Amino acid sequence: MNTLKVGDKAPNFESLDEAGNVVKLSDFTGKKLVVFFYPKASTPGCTLEGCNLRDNYEILKEKGYALLGVSADSAKRQSNFKNKHEFPFPLLADEDKTVINGFGVWGLKKFMGREYDGIHRKTFVVEDGVVIKVIDKVKTKDHAAQILD
């Protein structure tokens, strides 16, 4: 797993969000784009993380941040997740893992003694196409504070 680091160029991705809209890195020029990767829509940790970002969305927006959630879930699953929790930001349905692999967050995980491949919960802040911050140890209940820190 070759995860992007601070100073790396972010992949110039193009993907579909939960509503089927095309989302590109270039859509966020002039903003600090928070790309947060989460393992699976509608699971407890991912719900806590998404809700924390939703609850702090106005503060993040005032500070010039745009948010984009990414997982390998289908558009339908992402749409249900977004609507249920009223997330004000798009969720990419990266089923072919183009964006996930581009940022290097797919890899070996361990859970309850079992090893498997999956998405690592990581967050990247990208400005002008360059990674300016990486959060490896995401605190799902306090994620917005980590971004603003």
Instruction: Give the residue numbers marked as catalytic.
Output: 46
Phi, psi of 117 (to 5 degrees): -90, 140
Q: Where are the alpha helices (DSSP H) in the chain?
A: 44-55, 57-62, 75-85, 98-103, 143-148
Residue 17 DSSP symbol: B
Distance of alpha carbon 55 from alpha carbon 140, whole angstroms: 12
For 92, how many CA atoms within 13 A lie in the half-sphere containing its CB? 27
Helix (H, G, I), strand (E, B) or coil at 14: strand
> How many of the other CB atoms lie within 10 Å of CB of 91?
26
